[in-house]
Amino acid sequence: MIYSANSIALFAVVVLGLADLAAAQSPTPLVTCPATQDFDSGLGVFTQSTNDDLNWSRRRYSTPSVNTGPSYDFDGVGYYMYVEASGRRRGQTAKLESPVFAAVRTGESCSIWFAYHMYGSAVGTLNVSVVETSSNAETVLWSLSGNQGNRWYGRVAATVPSSVTGNYKFVFTGVVGSSWSSDVAFDSVEFGDGCCRKPYTCQAHSTDFETGFGSFTNVKKEISWTINRGPTLSLRTGPTGDNTTGNGYYVYLETSGPNPGDKAWLVSPMFL
């Protein structure tokens, strides 16, 4: 297709008309930080994984097996999550997954806190991992194996490492031990503020170019954008007024003189 200078100018005016109408909007976080997950009214924000052998069970008071598992939850009055080892095979896993969180911002950190209970003569392993959603790469943040006695511990922290640069989710994995006496449990999960993106506050006014480029930056490539009021310099091309009042300023590409294919960049601020 052959583009004339006029067609390039017209295209530029149509695009910048959108910028004249409204300011850029900040993206919405994938999730806001949920309240502490105590499992007293269900799984909360967590879901059972389909990439495992078993499901986590939600329970109040003692597990069905003697001399293994908790007798009550971390607070002493509600529910907890556990892996029932009776009738299972050694090495089978149960995974419970959090929602997906937006990538941790540079200079910030994300930690979660939780309580755990690992009591029984054949207790296996409890892992807390983070999984990047783009690659399914899993990084173990915290891991413990073996009998820790008949008590709750916590809350302990697990922190997302700086090597995790994309969107991610947390996974609690219980691994069955060598016999039925290997129930593992966790409770009272709290997500730190760094795990949840707070949206940037956009300016309350549109970028209308009445007093300059505003928050935009005019980055010259082969040519530059021009702020103008009234008709452009060329006849029968470009606007005769701005989009808002017809009497204000707008941004356009003056194509008299440039070569076909020349580019100009107008760059907004960075949004995360």
Average pLDDT over residues 161-173: 93
* Between 162 and 119, residue with greater pLDDT: 119
- The predicted pLDDT at position 129 comes to 97
The model's pLDDT over 230-250, given as tens digits with 9 standing for 90+, comes to 998 888 888 988 888 888 999
How would residue 198 be classed by pLDDT, with cut points 50, 70 and 90?
A: low
What span, in angstroms and rounded, lies between the C-alpha atoms of 62 and 240?
78
Average pLDDT over residues 211-220: 81
Which residues are CB-contacts of 260 (< 8 A; sequence separation ≥ 6)? 3, 5, 8
Average pLDDT over residues 145-174: 94
How would residue 89 be classed by pLDDT, with cut points 50, 70 and 90?
A: very high
Neighbouring C-beta atoms of residue 136, cutoff 10 Å: 8
Average pLDDT over residues 40-55: 95
- The predicted pLDDT at position 17 comes to 39
- The predicted pLDDT at position 271 comes to 55
* The residue type at 200: Y
Helices (H) and strands (E) in the chain, counts: 1, 14
What span, in angstroms and rounded, lies between the C-alpha atoms of 98 and 46?
5
What span, in angstroms and rounded, lies between the C-alpha atoms of 22 and 213?
14
The model's pLDDT over 5-18, given as tens digits with 9 standing for 90+, comes to 343 333 333 333 33
Nearest 5°: the CA angle 213, 218, 219 is 165
* The residue type at 107: G
